[in-house]
Chains A and B, each alone.
Chain A
Amino acid sequence: MMTAPAPEMTTETDPAMTPLLDLSDVTIALRQNDRKMVTGVSLSVMPREVFGIVGESGSGKTLFTRTVFGLHEDTYLAGGTVRFNGRALPLNGYRRAIKKMLGKEIGYIPQDPYSSLNPSMRVGRQLTEALYLSKGYPMRSQKAQDAAVALLAEVGIPEPELAFRQYPDQFSGGMRQRIVIAIALSQDPELMIADEPTTALDAFTQRRIMDLILERSRTRGLAVLLISHNLELLRQSVDRLGVLYGGQLLNVAATADIGAREIHPYTQALFDCVPGRDKRLADIASIPGEPVGAGFGTTGCAFAGRCAFAQDICRSAPLVTNTDRGTGFSACVLGKGARHG
Chain B
Amino acid sequence: MAEQPVIELLELTKSFSSGAFVQNRSFALGPVSITVNSGEVVGILGESGSGKSTVANVIMRLTGFDEGSYHFRGADVRAFTKADSFAFKSKVQIIFQDPYGSLNPRATVGASIREALILHKRHLSRAQMDARVRELLAEVGLGSEDPGRYPHEFSGGQRQRIAIARALAVEPEVLVCDEPLSSLDVSIQAQVLELFKSLIEHRNLTMVFISHDLNVSRLLCDRVYVMHKGKVVEKGIAQEVLTNPQHDYTRQLLEAVY
Contact = CB atoms under 8 A, between A and B. Distances in A.
B212 A200 contact: yes
A173 B215 contact: no
B53 A173 contact: yes
A284 interface: yes
Interface residues of B, number: 56
Contacts of B185: 55-57, 229
Interface in A117-169: 156, 158-159, 162-163, 165-166
A274 B179 CA distance: 19
A55 B219 CA distance: 24
Given A58-B155, A114-B100, A291-B187, A166 B256 contact: no
B158 A57 contact: yes
A175 interface: yes
A74 B154 CA distance: 12
B24 A275 contact: no
Interface stretch (A43-51, A204-212, A322-330): A204-212
A202 B220 contact: no
Interface in A207-234: 207, 229-233
A286 B214 contact: no
Interface of B: 16, 19, 21-26, 45-49, 52-54, 97-98, 100-101, 141, 152-153, 155-158, 161, 178-179, 182-191, 193-194, 197, 212, 214-216, 219-220, 252-258
Given A202-B46, A281-B194, A57 B188 contact: yes
Given A57-B185, A229-B183, A284 B98 contact: no
14 contacts: A56-B185, A56-B188, A57-B184, A111-B156, A170-B16, A173-B178, A202-B47, A206-B212, A206-B256, A275-B216, A275-B219, A281-B197, A281-B220, A286-B186
Contacts of B215: 275-277, 279
A280 B25 contact: no
Contact of B155 (A62, A158, A170, A276): A62
Contacts, number: 158
Given A57-B188, A202-B46, A62 B258 contact: no
Contact of A233 (B157, B219, B258): B258
Contact of A281 (B152, B155, B193, B255): B193
Contacts of B153: 74
Given A58-B158, A170-B24, A205 B187 contact: no
A81 B179 CA distance: 38
Contacts of A277: 215
Interface of A: 1, 4, 55-58, 61-63, 74, 111-112, 114-115, 156, 158-159, 162-163, 165-166, 170-175, 178, 195-196, 199-207, 229-233, 236, 273-277, 279-281, 284-287, 291
A236 B100 CA distance: 29
A204 B183 contact: no
Contacts of A195: 156
Interface centre among B49, B53, B188 (most CB of A within 10 A): B49
Contacts of B155: 57-58, 61-63
A160 B233 CA distance: 25
Contacts of B53: 172-173
A89 B49 CA distance: 42
Contacts of B46: 202
Contacts of B141: 291
A232 B258 contact: yes
A204 to B, nearest CB: 5
Nearest to A115: B100
A270 to B, nearest CB: 8
A199 B25 contact: no
A114 B179 contact: no
A22 B73 CA distance: 60
Nearest to A236: B258
Contacts of A196: 156, 183
A157 to B, nearest CB: 8
B160 to A, nearest CB: 8
A1 B258 CA distance: 5
A203 B187 contact: no
A280 B183 contact: no
B187 A287 contact: yes
A229 B158 contact: no
A181 to B, nearest CB: 12
B187 A112 contact: no
